[in-house]
């Protein structure tokens, strides 16, 4: 039978897998286990979402045995070979145990598996728990965002884990967090970003300074307008989260602009489904060229994940190389890009704010587009400092903070 593990290790593993163990998990009960040809139907006596029954394949149940022989007790990595299991495996015995708190299985070779009812309910791929770790994305237009601004204070996020967790939750769900009161000095943006994860270095450096420069290799380093865009679309993996911190805002103009690319993509899907489909299947060529670099990648404007949910928006006309789709597709592609652009530029979609010294914005760069108005470099200084981290590291930080908060 399963070797006992310490409560501490169980909790880490439960949190690491996003299980609602706590109160919800403990209240789950199995009334009966009804085996069929290749699976068992569990009839729930009590279920957090009120489900009557859920099915689990036998091969899945065997592959996910939690005992110390099947799952390494320290690394939580599987030590059996899922794909070497008999595809027709079937337990010799299967029953609800511990008053319905667990499912007990005995396999033909005598191996025993015990799975907690709450653990099973949290991974119920038949009943809506699929991708339970993928938090609901809350897309927004300007009015929705301003009704509940994702604002945070520097003192709080740099000293308190609870406030850092709230900031990361805004970044995860809405793709944007605004932090006020960050000392407008060199290196402070990196200190905030390093609270979350290590920094993502690029051809612009570990950190970068956005100001009007004499010999710019990037339009951001001029005083020109920057239309809403995502950074570094010319890379295989554009950075996941961008931080921009305002040090000086004396120049007239230069207001920041933010648009939720996922909301714009939802609108395009509803209003022009053919244009939407075209932008998900047509890779655009992107390129960045300067004296030292020639960095190119091809990717679609809107990328969906395997379930059809939004994964990425990549949009930056200035860095788009000459389009090179087949002749008859060129006209429709320009039409589709114009249609998406029109949505992105609707005033109701755009959050506009003039950053003041001490303001920092952090946003998902593969979702939320950013830009700025032109400014007058002769009428005062404008200076921002920026850096990037990646989403997988940031969401890891969020999960670990939730774990220690007793989630």
Interface with Zn ion (CB under 5 A): 65, 67, 69-70, 231
**Partner in contact with 29, chosen from ligand OGA, Zn ion, none, beta carbon below 5 to 8 Å by kind:** none
Interatomic CA distance for residues 63 and 182, integer angstroms: 49
Residue 360: exposed, middle, or buried by beta-carbon count in 10 A (0-12, 13-18, 19+)? buried
User: Which C-beta is closer to ligand OGA: that of 312 or that of 359?
Assistant: 359
Interatomic CA distance for residues 60 and 97, integer angstroms: 19
Minimum CB separation of residue 28 from ligand OGA in Å reads 47
Cβ proximity of 102 and 29 under 8 Å? no
Q: What is the CA radius of gyration of the chain?
A: 25
Interatomic CA distance for residues 66 and 58, integer angstroms: 14
**Partner in contact with 384, chosen from Zn ion, ligand OGA, none, beta carbon below 5 to 8 Å by kind:** ligand OGA
User: Which C-beta is closer to ligand OGA: that of 56 or that of 243?
Assistant: 243
Tell me the pairing of strands 368-372 and 226-229.
antiparallel
Minimum CB separation of residue 371 from ligand OGA in Å reads 6
Tell me the pairing of strands 382-389 and 39-46.
unpaired
**Partner in contact with 260, chosen from Zn ion, ligand OGA, none, beta carbon below 5 to 8 Å by kind:** none
Using CB under 6 A as the binding rule, the residues of this chain from 322 to 361 that contact ligand OGA are none
**Partner in contact with 372, chosen from ligand OGA, Zn ion, none, beta carbon below 5 to 8 Å by kind:** ligand OGA
Number of residues that bind ligand OGA (CB under 6 A): 9
Which of 193, 210, 241, 360 binds ligand OGA (CB under 6 A)? It is 210
Report CA-CA distances (Å) from 207 to 53, 170, 245, 253.
52, 23, 11, 24
Using CB under 6 A as the binding rule, the residues of this chain from 212 to 231 that contact ligand OGA are 220, 226, 231
Length, in residues, of the chain = 407
**Partner in contact with 95, chosen from Zn ion, ligand OGA, none, beta carbon below 5 to 8 Å by kind:** none
For 204, residues 6+ apart whose C-beta sits below 8 A from its C-beta are 218
- The answer to whether residue 278 forms part of the interface with ligand OGA (CB under 6 A) is no
Minimum CB separation of residue 241 from Zn ion in Å reads 13
- The answer to whether residue 316 forms part of the interface with ligand OGA (CB under 6 A) is no
Interatomic CA distance for residues 341 and 335, integer angstroms: 10
User: Which C-beta is closer to ligand OGA: that of 210 or that of 362?
Assistant: 210
Residue 372's CB: how many other CB atoms inside 10 A? 24
Summarize as ranges the residues that interact with ligand OGA (CB under 6 A). 210, 220, 226, 231, 256, 370, 372, 384, 386
């Amino acid at each position: 039978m399963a070797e006992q593990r310490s409560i501490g290790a169980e909790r880490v593993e439960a949190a690491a897998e996003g299980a609602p163990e706590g109160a919800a998990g403990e209240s789950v009960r199995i009334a009966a286990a009804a085996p069929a040809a290749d699976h068992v139907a569990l009839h729930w006596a009590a279920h957090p979402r009120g489900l009557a029954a859920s099915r689990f394949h036998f091969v899945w149940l065997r592959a996910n045995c939690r005992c110390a022989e099947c799952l390494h007790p320290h690394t939580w990595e599987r030590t059996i070979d899922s794909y070497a299991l008999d595809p027709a495996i079937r337990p010799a015995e299967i029953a609800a145990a511990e008053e319905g708190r667990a499912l007990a299985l005995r396999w033909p070779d005598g191996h025993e598996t015990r799975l907690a009812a709450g653990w099973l309910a949290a991974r119920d791929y038949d009943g809506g728990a699929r991708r339970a770790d993928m938090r609901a994305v809350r897309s927004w237009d300007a009015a929705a965002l301003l009704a509940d601004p994702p604002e945070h204070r520097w003192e709080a996020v740099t000293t308190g884990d609870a406030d850092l967790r709230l900031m990361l939750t805004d970044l995860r769900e809405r793709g944007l967090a605004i932090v006020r009161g960050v000392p407008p000095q060199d290196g402070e943006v990196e200190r905030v970003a390093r609270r979350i994860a290590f920094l993502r270095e690029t051809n612009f450096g570990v950190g970068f300074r956005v100001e009007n420069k004499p010999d710019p290799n990037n339009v951001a380093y001029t005083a020109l307008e920057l239309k809403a865009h995502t950074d570094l679309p010319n890379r295989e993996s554009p950075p996941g989260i961008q931080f921009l911190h305002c040090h000086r805002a004396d120049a007239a103009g230069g207001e920041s602009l933010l648009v939720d690319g996922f909301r714009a993509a939802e609108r395009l899907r509803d209003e022009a489904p053919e244009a939407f489909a075209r932008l998900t299947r047509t890779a655009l060529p992107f390129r960045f060229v300067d004296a030292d670099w020639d960095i190119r990648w091809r990717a679609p404007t809107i990328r969906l994940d395997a379930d059809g949910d939004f994964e990425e928006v990549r949009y930056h006309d200035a860095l788009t190389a000459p389009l090179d789709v087949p002749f008859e597709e060129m006209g429709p592609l320009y039409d589709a890009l114009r249609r998406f652009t029109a949505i992105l530029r609707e005033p109701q979609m755009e959050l506009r704010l003039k950053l003041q010294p001490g303001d920092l914005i952090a946003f998902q760069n593969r979702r939320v587009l950013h830009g700025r108005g032109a400014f007058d470099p002769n009428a005062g200084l404008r200076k921002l400092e920026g850096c990037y981290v990646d989403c997988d590291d940031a969401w890891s930080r969020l999960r670990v903070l939730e774990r220690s908060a007793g989630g």
